[in-house]
């Protein structure tokens, strides 16, 4: 499976589960009614900081986040913009009770939010998990979940004609988001080759 949101290729997804670094969606990956789920503050965090958070309801009909992720976004150590956003969360963001998960998820050496996102995604049979944390991504994929991250969301939005990908990368570079320039260059080259047309 492509790391980029090949499983989220439809214009909208019915239900998504989010946290800062992860999200999941329920239903068929190619189903235009697929949902999306996010796990920790990773993608949500960075999309808020870069002004891209309103891309989510344009790409996915519902976004689900475990309660622990909501709490992480509201934590006093989170950036003020992130705390303000979650304090007035939009109607498309659905906060869900935390799921305990089975043993391999509950015992995984991951952040609490990442574990909660994976457990929720498995519980709702999500089509897509949005997550940036590499260890969390590896576990989610081992459990059969499709995964993409912050860059994958931006790539998908660019393919839908919603943003200019190069311009969207600039505010992201000004944050603490970890990236390899070679990866950004490869995404831009691939997007230029496609001519920005949706696939």
What distance in Å separates the CA atoms of residue 155 and residue 191, rounded to the nearest whole number?
Answer: 8
pLDDT, tens digit only, all 199 positions of the chain: 222 222 233 334 444 544 433 344 443 333 333 444 444 468 999 999 999 999 999 998 778 999 999 999 999 999 999 999 999 999 999 999 887 666 556 566 787 888 889 889 998 888 888 989 888 889 899 999 999 999 999 999 999 999 999 999 999 999 999 888 999 999 999 998 887 455 5
- Whole-structure pTM value: 0.78
Q: Decide if 1 is inside a domain.
A: no
Question: How many Cβ atoms sit within 10 Å of the Cβ of residue 26?
Answer: 25
Give the span between the Cα atoms of 130 and 140, in whole angstroms.
10
In a domain, 199, yes or no: no
CATH code: domain of residue 141? 3.40.50.1010
Residue 138 structural domain = 6-194
* Phi-psi domain of 98 (left: phi exceeds 0; alpha: psi -120 through 50; beta: other): beta
- CA–CA distance, 14 with 167 (Å, rounded to integer): 28
pLDDT at 6: 25
Instruction: Identify the pLDDT of residue 86.
Output: 96
CA distance 31 to 11: 9
**30 near 142, Cβ under 8 Å?**
no
Contact 179, 172 (CB under 8 A): yes
Structure tokens at 135: 């260890």
Radius of gyration of the chain from Cα atoms?
Answer: 15
Quick one: DSSP state of residue 6? G
**C-alpha–C-alpha distance, residues 39 and 50, integer Å:** 18
Total count of domains within the chain: 1
Tell me, what's the pLDDT at 197? Answer: 52
- The CA distances from residue 101 to 26, 71, 124, 145, in Å, are 17, 19, 12, 14
Domain membership of residue 28 (yes or no) is: yes
The two three-digit tokens of residue 116, written as one number: 């909660």
């Amino acid at each position: 499976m492509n790391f980029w949101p090949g499983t989220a290729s439809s214009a909208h997804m019915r239900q998504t589960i989010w946290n800062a670094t992860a999200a999941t969606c329920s239903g068929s990956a190619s189903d235009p009614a697929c949902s999306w789920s996010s796990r920790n503050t990773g993608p949500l965090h960075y999309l808020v900081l870069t002004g891209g958070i309103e891309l989510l309801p344009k790409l996915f009909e519902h976004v689900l986040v475990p309660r622990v992720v909501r709490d992480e976004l509201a934590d006093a150590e989170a950036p003020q913009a992130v705390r303000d956003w979650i304090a007035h969360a939009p109607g498309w963001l659905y906060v869900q009770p935390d799921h305990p998960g089975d043993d391999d998820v509950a015992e995984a050496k991951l952040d609490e939010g990442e574990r909660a996102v994976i457990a929720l995604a498995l519980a709702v049979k999500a089509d897509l998990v949005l997550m940036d944390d590499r260890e969390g991504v590896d576990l989610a994929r081992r459990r059969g979940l499709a995964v993409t991250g912050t860059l994958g969301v931006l790539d998908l939005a660019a393919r839908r004609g919603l943003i200019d990908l190069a311009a969207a990368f600039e505010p992201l570079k000004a944050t603490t988001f970890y990236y390899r320039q070679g990866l950004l260059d490869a995404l831009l080259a691939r997007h230029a080759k496609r001519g920005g047309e949706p696939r």
